[in-house]
Structure 1
Amino acid sequence: MVVRMRVNRSKTGKRRSHHAISGVRLSTCSCGALRQSHRACPECGKYNDKVVIDVVARANREARRAKRHSADRPVTEKESEAAAT
C-alpha cells in the first residue's frame, strides 16, 4: 500500500467504534416469561396477546423427531456401557 493511502490504527479504530453489537432487548410477556421484542413468546406462543404458535403441538413434534432420530442413529459402545451401569 502506498504511504499516502495508508490509514493509521487510530483512524481505523475510530471508524470501527460504531460497529459494536448491542445486546438482545428483552421484554416480559403477558404470561410472565422473558421474550425478545417483536417476536412470539417461546413459552406461551403469543404475539400481541394472540396465539400464533401452538406450543403443545410443537413440543410433541420435536419429541417425535428426536425419538425418530435417536432410533436411526446406531448406538456406540460407550452409550451401551453407560446404559448398562
Structure 2
Amino acid sequence: MAVPKRKMSRSNTRSRRAQWKTSAVHLVACQNRACRQPKPQHVACPACGQYDGRQVVQPA
C-alpha cells in the first residue's frame, strides 16, 4: 500500500482543497402550465406541489 513519505504541508493541503467548489443549483420551470415557477430538477415544485404531472405534496 502506498504511504506518503512526508507529511503534506498546510499550504499544500489548503491549495488542493481550494479546488473543491460547489456548483449552483440548476433551476428549471415547473411543468404545471398554471405555475411555471423555477424549481430544482427532479424535485416536487414547492409552489404548486406537483411532480411529473401529479399532485404529490400539498403546496406550502
TM-score (norm 1): 0.49
Q: Name segments (4+ residues, structure 1) moved above 3 Å.
A: none
Percent identity over paired residues: 32
After TM superposition, the score normalised by the length of structure 2 is 0.66
Aligned to 1:51: 55
Unmatched tracts of structure 2, length 5 or more: none
RMSD of Structure 2 on Structure 1 (CA): 1.7
Aligned length in residues: 50
- More helix per residue: 1
Which structure would you say has the larger RCO, counting Cα contacts within 8 Å and 6 or more residues apart? 2
Say which one has the larger Rg. 1
- Name stretches of at least 5 consecutive residues in structure 1 with no aligned partner: 60-85
Structure with the higher fraction of residues in strand conformation: 2
